[in-house]
C-alpha cells in the first residue's frame, strides 16, 4: 500500500503573492503584424527572437528569477578579492546551514559543477544511474566516457497518470543495474525535482531507499539539487509524516542521505548566475579542488564574482521560504489548471516549475514529423507574444547510428515560470492566448526544416511552413 496523503487540487486558488514590487522592467506587446515578421525572420525558431520582441517569456526558469532587495543589497557588498573573499565565507556558511555540507566548491553554474565532479568520479566505461538525468548532466557523464542511465518509475513516462512522486527512482531497475556489476557504478545521482520528467518530485521514502542500496554497495550517492526547495515543498504537501515539518528541516533531511550535491543556483537559489558542489568528504574535496581551479577558477570564487556569491548565499535561504514556495507552486498550478479546465491537453500532475502542453494532442492533424509542439510554440508567439519552448521531436534529434529522426513519445511545449517575475494577470493573459490558438487549431499547419543544424538542432535550425 502506498503511504501517501495525496489529493489532486482541482479547485485552489486564492493565491496571494508574499512580496510587493519595488523595481519594474518595461515589457510591451509589439503588433501582430510585426510578430509575424519577427518570427519569420527568426526562421520560426524561437531561440532566435530578440527578447524585446517578446511580451511574456516562459522559455526557461533558469537564471530568469527576480532577486530580492536583500540580494541586491548583497550585490553592493561584493568583495572582489581574487582569494579569500568574504562572500565565499558567507556562501560556505549558507550551504552548511541550509544543506548541512561542510565543503563547498563554487562554480560558474550547474554544468561547471558537473564537469568537475565527473572528471574525478567517473572512469571510462562506468555507469551513472539516476531517475532522469538533465541534458548537460548526461552530456558531462558521456564526455568522460561514462554512461548515464535513467531509472525513473514507469509512471514518469506516462503523461496522464497521476502519481504524487513521479520523479522517484524505480528501485528494482536500480538494483538490477547494480547487481550486474556493482564495481562499474561510478555514483548514483538523484535529480530533484526531476526536470526532464516535468519538474516532478522525489519522495523522502524513495531517497532513503536509494541511500540504503548505495550504502550496502559502497556507491557514492549525489543529488542534482537545482530545485532542492521545490522538492521539499512537495514532500511537505504530499508525504505522510512531513506536514508539520518546516521546509528547512525537510531540505536538511534530504541532504543528510547524500554524499554531496551539484547545484545550479539559477533555479531555486534565485540568482542570475552561479552554482556549486558541496560535500562532506575531505579526501574527495581535495581531489576535486585542483580540477575546480583548472576549469572554473580559484576555490574561493569558481567563476563567480564576489557579488554573485553574496546573492547566492542569500538566495539559498530565501529559496526555502515557505510562503514564497507555496505561492510559486500554486502559480504554476493555477496556469496548468486553468488551461486544463479550458480543454487544453497538459501533462499531469503539474510539476514545480513549468506547465507542459501536449502538442500532439493539441494539434492532432499536424504530423509529428511536422513538429506539432514547435508549431504550437510559433502560434502562441504570433497570437500573443508568448515564448515557450519545444521539448519534443526537434530537441530529440536523430539516432546517431541510423541517422533516422527520433520521435519521442512525449512531444510537448513547455511553459516555464520564472521565479517572482510574473503575477496572476500575466498568467491569465497566457491562458487567453493559448485558448485563442486552441480555438483556431484546425486551420494551423506544421513546419519542416529549412536548414537542419547537424548538432544542437533545436537551437540552430530554421524552418519553413508546410504548404
Ligand atoms: C539547469 C540544470 C542543470 C545545469 O545547470 P546550469 O546552471 O544551466 O549549467 C543541471 N541539472 C538540472 C536538473 C538543471 O535544471
Concatenating the DSSP letter of every residue in 127-184 gives EEEESS--HHHHHHHHHTT-EEEE-B-GGGG-TT---TTTT-B-HHHHHHHHHH-GGG
Query: What residues does each domain of the chain span?
Result: 32-61+323-465, 69-318
Q: Among 411, 410, 414, 395, which Cα is nearest to 354's? A: 414
Cα angle for residues 61, 67, 68 (degrees, 5° grid) = 140
What is the reported pLDDT for 12?
Answer: 52
**3 state SS of 4:** strand
Q: What is the pLDDT along the chain (467 residues), one digit of tens a residue?
A: 344 444 444 445 567 899 999 999 999 999 999 999 999 999 999 999 999 999 999 999 999 999 999 999 999 999 999 999 999 999 999 999 999 999 999 999 999 999 999 999 999 999 999 999 998 999 999 999 999 999 999 999 887 888 999 999 999 999 999 999 999 999 999 999 998 888 999 999 999 999 999 999 999 999 999 999 999 999 999 999 999 999 999 999 999 999 999 999 999 999 999 999 999 999 999 999 999 999 999 999 999 999 999 999 999 999 999 999 999 999 999 999 999 999 999 998 999 999 999 999 999 999 999 999 999 999 999 999 999 999 999 998 888 889 899 998 889 999 999 999 999 999 999 999 999 999 999 999 999 999 999 878 899 999 999 98
Known active-site residue 135: yes
274 vs 82, 203, 271, 312, 315, CA distance in Å?
Answer: 17, 27, 7, 7, 11
Nearest CA to ligand 1 atom 11: 134
**DSSP label at 444?**
-
Q: Which CATH class is domain 69-318?
A: alpha beta
DSSP bridge partners of 260: 222, 279
- What confidence tens digit (pLDDT) does each residue in 145-199 have? 999 999 999 999 887 888 999 999 999 999 999 999 999 999 999 999 998 888 9
- What confidence tens digit (pLDDT) does each residue in 217-258 have? 999 999 999 999 999 999 999 999 999 999 999 999 999 999
| Same fold across 32-61+323-465 and 69-318 | no
Residue written as grid cell 525513473: 152
CA torsion 179-182-187-189 (nearest 10°) is: 0
Q: Which H or E run contains 290?
A: helix 282-295
Nearest CA to ligand 1 atom 6: 110
To test the pocket of ligand 1, the residue of 60, 107, 134 to mutate (highest count of ligand atoms within 8 Å of its CB) is: 134
What is the reported pLDDT for 260?
Answer: 98
Q: Among 408, 427, 467, which Cα is nearest to 336's? A: 427
Cell of 176: 538490477
CA of 432 to the centre of ligand 1 (A): 31
**What is the CB-side half-sphere exposure of residue 310 using CA atoms within 13 A?**
19
What is the reported pLDDT for 14?
Answer: 67
What is the reported pLDDT for 409?
Answer: 82
Known active-site residue 82: yes
Known active-site residue 133: no
Atom of ligand 1 nearest to the CA of 274: 7
Give the integer Cα–Cα distance in Å for 374 and 363: 11
Question: What percent helix, strand, coil does the chain show, rounded to 5?
Answer: 45, 15, 40
CATH number, span 32-61+323-465 = 3.90.1150.10
Known active-site residue 354: no
Known active-site residue 209: no
To test the pocket of ligand 1, the residue of 264, 312, 419 to mutate (highest count of ligand atoms within 8 Å of its CB) is: 264
Q: CB within 6 Å of ligand 1 — which residues?
A: 62, 109-111, 134, 136-137, 191, 195, 224, 226, 264, 266-267, 275
What is the reported pLDDT for 13?
Answer: 58
Nearest CA to ligand 1 atom 5: 110
Prediction pTM value: 0.94
Q: Which of 94, 113, 156, 226 is catalytic?
A: 226
417 vs 118, 334, 434, CA distance in Å?
Answer: 30, 11, 15
Amino acid at each position: 500500500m502506498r503511504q501517501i496523503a495525496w489529493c489532486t487540487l482541482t479547485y485552489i486558488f486564492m493565491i496571494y503573492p508574499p512580496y510587493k514590487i519595488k523595481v519594474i522592467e518595461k515589457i510591451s506587446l509589439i503588433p501582430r503584424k510585426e510578430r509575424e515578421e519577427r518570427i519569420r525572420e527568426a526562421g520560426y525558431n524561437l531561440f532566435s527572437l530578440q527578447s524585446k520582441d517578446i511580451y511574456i517569456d516562459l522559455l526557461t526558469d533558469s537564471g530568469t528569477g527576480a532577486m530580492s532587495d536583500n540580494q541586491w543589497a548583497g550585490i553592493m557588498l561584493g568583495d572582489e578579492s581574487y582569494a579569500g573573499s568574504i562572500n565565499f565565507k558567507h556562501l560556505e556558511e549558507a550551504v552548511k546551514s541550509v544543506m548541512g555540507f561542510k565543503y563547498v566548491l563554487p562554480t560558474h553554474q550547474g554544468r561547471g559543477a558537473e564537469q568537475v565532479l565527473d572528471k574525478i568520479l567517473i572512469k571510462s566505461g562506468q555507469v551513472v544511474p539516476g531517475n532522469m538525468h538533465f541534458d548537460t548532466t548526461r552530456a558531462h557523464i558521456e564526455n568522460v566516457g561514462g554512461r548515464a542511465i535513467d531509472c525513473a518509475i514507469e509512471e514518469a513516462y506516462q503523461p496522464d497518470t497521476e502519481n504524487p512522486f513521479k520523479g522517484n527512482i524505480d528501485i528494482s531497475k536500480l538494483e538490477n543495474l547494480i547487481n550486474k556489476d556493482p564495481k562499474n557504478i561510478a555514483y548514483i545521482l538523484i535529480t530533484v525535482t526531476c526536470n526532464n520528467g516535468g519538474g516532478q518530485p522525489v519522495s523522502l521514502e524513495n531517497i532513503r531507499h536509494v541511500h540504503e542500496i548505495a550504502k550496502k554497495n559502497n556507491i557514492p550517492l549525489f543529488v542534482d539539487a537545482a530545485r532542492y526547495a521545490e522538492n521539499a515543498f512537495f514532500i511537505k504537501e504530499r508525504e505522510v509524516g512531513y506536514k508539520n515539518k518546516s521546509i528547512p528541516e525537510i531540505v536538511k533531511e534530504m541532504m543528510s542521505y547524500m554524499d554531496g550535491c551539484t547545484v545550479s543556483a539559477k533555479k531555486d537559489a534565485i540568482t542570475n548566475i552561479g552554482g556549486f558542489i558541496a560535500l562532506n568528504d575531505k579526501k574527495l574535496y581535495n581531489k576535486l579542488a585542483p580540477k575546480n581551479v583548472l576549469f572554473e577558477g580559484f576555490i574561493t570564487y569558481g567563476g563567480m564574482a564576489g557579488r554573485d556569491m553574496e546573492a547566492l548565499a542569500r538566495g539559498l535561504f530565501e529559496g526555502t521560504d515557505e510562503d514564497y514556495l507555496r505561492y510559486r507552486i500554486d502559480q504554476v498550478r493555477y496556469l496548468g489548471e486553468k488551461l486544463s479546465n479550458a480543454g487544453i491537453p497538459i501533462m499531469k500532475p503539474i510539476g514545480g516549475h513549468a506547465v507542459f502542453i501536449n502538442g500532439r494532442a493539441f494539434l492532432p492533424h499536424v504530423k509529428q514529423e511536422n513538429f506539432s509542439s514547435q508549431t504550437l510554440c510559433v502560434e502562441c508567439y504570433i497570437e500573443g507574444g508568448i515564448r515557450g519552448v519545444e521539448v519534443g521531436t526537434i530537441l530529440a534529434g536523430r539516432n546517431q547510428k541510423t541517422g533516422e529522426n527520433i520521435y519521442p513519445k512525449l512531444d510537448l511545449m513547455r511553459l516555464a515560470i520564472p521565479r517572482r517575475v510574473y503575477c496572476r494577470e500575466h498568467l491569465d493573459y497566457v491562458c487567453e492566448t493559448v485558448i485563442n490558438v486552441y480555438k483556431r487549431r484546425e486551420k494551423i499547419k506544421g513546419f519542416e526544416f529549412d536548414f537542419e543544424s547537424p548538432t544542437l538542432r533545436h537551437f540552430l535550425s530554421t524552418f519553413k511552413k508546410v504548404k
